[in-house]
Amino acid sequence: MRLLMVILLVAVSAFSQVVITVDENVSKNQDKSLWLALGASALLPGMGELYLDERTLVKPFVWTDAALWLTAIGSYFIGERYITSAHGYAVRHAGLTTDSKDVSLLNTVGDYRSRGGVAGQNSSPDMDEDYNQAMIRAGKAIDDEYSESIQWDWGSSDNPESTERIEEYKSRLRHFRVSRIVFQVSVGALVLNRVVSILDVMRVYRATSSRSFSQRMEFAPEFLEDGGGILMNVKF
């Protein structure tokens, strides 16, 4: 019986084939620089993957970055147009006496009808109609935040036209704030896009730059027309 088993083993071995396969992907980037790949992705997401010859996510990263840059730049300049428009509107209709486009100041101009009391009488004046009076009630000097030379007056709330003008002014400021939110979100997304690309580059580099082969051997019987054998698969 033992002799028969030996004869069978010798016969199988005589017709056996040894196939060795090497997975080149695990070492294709072993001579490339990780820092160069990371720098490329930080500069333009997707370029690190392209450098490592991992092209699957190159286009998504690049197109996403292009769209975010377009949104960020567009929203920034749109915001500048709105704040300039609001300032010019206040100069024309409220007599604002400053060239400053400070956002805090322009918001204050929208919060109070006048700096030192509206021209004309109001049948039902608002407690916060007069900026100077509001500062006095708060225990502050009237020039604590802004110089006394800065004046404005939207007119009496009894005049519907003056109310419409101040509402239009506030609308322009709201559009400015929305554009700034879009700009900030776009900038944050640009940073996030780079972080994701850098992490992906680290993953790809780790998977494709192994310098020490991890071996795994698999054996499987194989039957051919002219005989049989054992298939040995070695992955590096």
Which residue shows structure tokens 């109310």?
A: 163
Distance, in Å, from the CA atom of 110 to the CA atom of 140, rounded to the nearest integer, reads 20
End-to-end CA distance of the chain: 39
Structure tokens at 22: 């090497």
Angle 129-135-141 from CA coordinates, rounded to 5°:
140
Give the model's pLDDT for residue 78: 97
Structure-token pair, residue 29: 């980037």
Per-residue model confidence (pLDDT) at position 199: 95
pLDDT of 134 reads 87
Low-confidence ranges of the chain (pLDDT < 50): 6, 8, 11-23, 120-123, 212-217, 234, 236
Q: What is residue 6's predicted lDDT score, i.e. its pLDDT?
A: 47
Distance in angstroms (rounded) separating the CA atoms of residues 201 and 195: 10
